[in-house]
Chain A
Amino acid sequence: MARVTSDEPRWASGVCAGVHASESGDVVYVPDNPLSHVLRIFETAFRDVRLVLATREEEAFGIAAGLYLGGRKPTVMLQSSGLGNSLNAITSLLIPCQIPVLMVISMRGDVGEWNSAQVPMGRSLPAILDAIGIPHSRVESAEDAAKTVQVAGETAFGTRMLHAVLLLRTITSRTQVRLESD
């Protein structure tokens, strides 16, 4: 595993290590606050991972589909709110065409949320993923981040089906108050 600068949170280092270990070399993203830690670690410690910025999440899944068709194993990183505008791409392109993507989702709307606009999608997201048949795993501690992401990616690319990893706010929001343990 590549060395990571000390002032980034450990959960974010784990996400990067997990993506890398699953042999996904391309990350298409629409950023949010917690994901900016992940992006910085990719930029500094995983220079062989290509980062591609999209204007909206549905477009990110389209670009990821092109990366897969070109021979790569793509990851899409998004905030939970962005699943809403991605559903058409997921259900009418990626699933029927058996194009696998590792989804890394920064959760909003769960415990600790302050913005009511984030709540309906955030709380419904696991049920929406269940309804369209996308398996999902949860990162609940910094220690299990790398393994959870790696296994999710390997499952996605092995089975040619999408797999989502949910980064819970109880983990990611710690970075804003920066506890001693982080």
Chain B
Amino acid sequence: MTRAEAVARVADAMPPDWLTIVCNGMIGRELYTHADAPSRFYMIGSMGLASSIGLGLAIVQPARTIVVLDGDGNVLMNMGALGSVAAASPANFFHVVFDNHAHGSTGDQCTISDRVPIEKVAAAAGYRRTMRAHSAGELDHTLTKFFRETGPAMLLVEVERGNKPGIGRVEPSPAELTARFRLSAIG
């Protein structure tokens, strides 16, 4: 399964009013191209911090569902965040990690996630539930139950390397992304 296909399948399982933080790089561009919404905030830098932003949001908006779409390179850059999420233990926090064992946005250089299973690190830190999907069929099956779990929960999705040709860039400016997201969060 390509990453763009996996991102699309996960996005299709998420109602547009769920608050979503997306890591920097191609994952955000793939979500934006497939299904943009004001409730989706795309990081353009600050690699590693999507889960930290999601944690702050989950603390202050406990009645909303918070989804963090992340990559293996991003998680590995800020692993302390897994501990912070587990310690705060927000029930509304859902962490989806697209894992291609590579820095896919910068030329597919290897990460270490082929030897470090990220969902097991999250489980050891104290996430309530963690899962791994190896294929498109398994992802679809897992998605029917993942978002019904009590968080914090992590779903790691194995994806192929490579980028979809012709994928667009996120059009709104960073300040516009902040303003529209904040309205949809407070609204």
Chain B contact surface mostly: helix
Asked if residues A66 and B45 are in contact (CB atoms below 8 Å), the reply is no
Question: Contacts A59-B52, A98-B174; is A67 near B84 (CB within 8 Å)?
Answer: no
Name A36-59 residues within 8 Å CB distance of B.
50, 52-56, 58-59
Complex interface: chain B residues within 8 A of A61 (CB):
49
Report, as a range, how many residues of chain B touch the other chain.
35 or more
Interface string of B169-186 (1 = CB under 8 A from A): 000001101110110011
Asked if residues A93 and B60 are in contact (CB atoms below 8 Å), the reply is no
C-alpha spacing A67/B60, complex, angstroms: 6
Q: Which of A62, A74, A92 has the most CB of B within 10 A?
A: A62
In the complex, residue of chain B having the shortest beta-carbon distance to the beta carbon of A70: B60
Complex interface: chain A residues within 8 A of B81 (CB):
55, 59, 62
Quick check: is B80 within 8 A (CB to CB) of the other chain?
yes
Asked if residues B175 and A98 are in contact (CB atoms below 8 Å), the reply is yes
A-B pairs under 8 A by CB, number: 112
Asked if residues A69 and B49 are in contact (CB atoms below 8 Å), the reply is no
C-alpha spacing A26/B124, complex, angstroms: 28
C-alpha spacing A69/B88, complex, angstroms: 18
C-alpha spacing A53/B175, complex, angstroms: 27
Quick check: is B44 within 8 A (CB to CB) of the other chain?
yes
In the complex, residue of chain A having the shortest beta-carbon distance to the beta carbon of B50: A62
CB distance from A132 to the nearest CB of B (A): 13
Asked if residues A92 and B44 are in contact (CB atoms below 8 Å), the reply is yes
Quick check: is B163 within 8 A (CB to CB) of the other chain?
no
CB distance from B68 to the nearest CB of A (A): 10
CB distance from B16 to the nearest CB of A (A): 16
Asked if residues B46 and A63 are in contact (CB atoms below 8 Å), the reply is no
- Using a Cβ–Cβ cut-off of 8 Å, how many residues does chain A contribute to the interface with B? 32
Can you give 30 A-B contacts (C-beta < 8 A)? A52-B88, A54-B52, A58-B48, A58-B78, A59-B52, A59-B78, A59-B80, A59-B81, A61-B49, A62-B52, A62-B53, A63-B52, A63-B59, A63-B84, A64-B56, A66-B55, A66-B58, A66-B59, A66-B60, A68-B178, A69-B56, A69-B182, A70-B61, A71-B61, A74-B56, A93-B43, A93-B53, A96-B175, A97-B178, A99-B178
Quick check: is A88 within 8 A (CB to CB) of the other chain?
yes
Question: Contacts A63-B56, A66-B56; is A93 near B61 (CB within 8 Å)?
Answer: no
Quick check: is A28 within 8 A (CB to CB) of the other chain?
yes
Name A153-174 residues within 8 Å CB distance of B.
none
Asked if residues B46 and A88 are in contact (CB atoms below 8 Å), the reply is yes
Asked if residues A63 and B55 are in contact (CB atoms below 8 Å), the reply is yes
Complex interface: chain B residues within 8 A of A59 (CB):
49, 52, 78, 80-81, 84
Asked if residues A55 and B185 are in contact (CB atoms below 8 Å), the reply is no
Name B44-75 residues within 8 Å CB distance of A.
44-49, 51-61
In the complex, residue of chain B having the shortest beta-carbon distance to the beta carbon of A92: B45
C-alpha spacing A66/B84, complex, angstroms: 14
Asked if residues A65 and B175 are in contact (CB atoms below 8 Å), the reply is no
Complex interface: chain A residues within 8 A of B127 (CB):
none
In the complex, residue of chain B having the shortest beta-carbon distance to the beta carbon of A54: B84
C-alpha spacing A59/B74, complex, angstroms: 13
Interface string of A66-87 (1 = CB under 8 A from B): 1111111010000000000000
Complex interface: chain B residues within 8 A of A67 (CB):
56-57, 59-60
Asked if residues A71 and B186 are in contact (CB atoms below 8 Å), the reply is yes
